[in-house]
Chain A
Amino acid sequence: AQKITQTQPGMFVQEKEAVTLDCTYDTSDPSYGLFWYKQPSSGEMIFLIYQGSYDQQNATEGRYSLNFQKARKSANLVISASQLGDSAMYFCAMRELYGGSQGNLIFGKGTKLSVKP
């Protein structure tokens, strides 16, 4: 079974608008972390935001926020005020402390975001 599911292979958003990238996860481990990475066309992997399973508040980093709904096992990324430079692949990832992934970061298949001028 997939540990991380990103149901949107591609998304379009108008410049300056907000966009939500979906991510659901599957784990029975009580302790885990959720991550979002950005991969622009140049290929590097850029860390955006982190949410721990015990964190009470949703994580925020500048224009990025993580909408963490633990009961629904979702960790959606919200990008506010989209910019042309936000066009990239976005990966959701999870790390389980005690689960079968042995502490490794497991990635979803990614969502390609295109920002229109």
Chain B
Amino acid sequence: DTAVSQTPKYLVTQMGNDKSIKCEQNLGHDTMYWYKQDSKKFLKIMFSYNNKELIINETVPNRFSPKSPDKAHLNLHINSLELGDSAVYFCASSSNTNEKLFFGSGTQLSVL
């Protein structure tokens, strides 16, 4: 069983569209995250979500919104997609702040 699964793996869409990326973890972890990896491979934290507390990186545009229906899921919704949103988005989870992160396989988002 995949520990952290995210779908879709590839997402190609037009500018201005709204899209969602789903993430589920079956590890029983308390904290989930979204990271963005740009074309230079730099990984940057976007959000972390722990026990209904959302911590947002201040550089993330408000077009991005995480939605957590329950502890095992943290979906990423993106409104009004822009060219600069093209990147690989990784979901991750951990059991507590001292533990390693388990990553999903990533979603390659291409905005045309």
Contacts and interface: CB of A to CB of B under 8 A. Distances in A.
Interface stretch (A17-25, A64-72, A75-83, A106-114): A106-114
A37 B43 CA distance: 11
Interface SS of chain B: helix, strand, loop or mixed?
strand
A107 B42 contact: yes
Interface residues of B, number: 21
B104 to A, nearest CB: 8
A91 B100 contact: no
A87 B46 CA distance: 28
A45 to B, nearest CB: 4
A18 B16 CA distance: 49
A107 B43 contact: yes
B66 interface: no
B38 to A, nearest CB: 10
Given A104-B48, A109-B40, A50 B100 contact: yes
B47 to A, nearest CB: 9
Interface SS of chain A: helix, strand, loop or mixed?
strand
A107 B100 CA distance: 13
A44 B106 contact: yes
B44, B97, B105 pick with most chain A CB within 10 angstroms: B97
Interface residues of A, number: 23
B45 A47 contact: no
B102 interface: yes
Interface in B79-101: 88, 90, 92, 97-98, 100-101
Nearest to A47: B100
A85 B105 CA distance: 18
Interface in B39-73: 40-45, 48, 55
Contact of A43 (B97, B98, B106): B106
B98 A89 contact: no
A84 interface: no
A44 B92 CA distance: 11
